[in-house]
Amino acid sequence: MLQYWLLGLAMMLVIEGLLPFLLPELWRETFRKLVSLTDGQLRFIGLTSMLSGLLMLYWIK
Count CA within 13 A, CB hemisphere, residue 17: 6
* CA torsion, ordered 5, 8, 53, 20, to nearest 10 deg: 140
| Domain spans in the chain, listed from the N-terminal domain onward | 24-61
What does the alpha-carbon distance between residue 24 and residue 15 come to, in Å, rounded to a whole number?
14
pTM: 0.71
For the stretch 1-55, pLDDT in tens is 889 889 989 999 999 999 999 999 999 999 999 999 999 999 999 999 999 989 9
The DSSP-derived string for 8-49 is HHHHHHHHHHHHHHH-HHHHHHHHHHHHTS-HHHHHHHHHHH
Q: What percent of the chain has pLDDT over 90?
A: 79
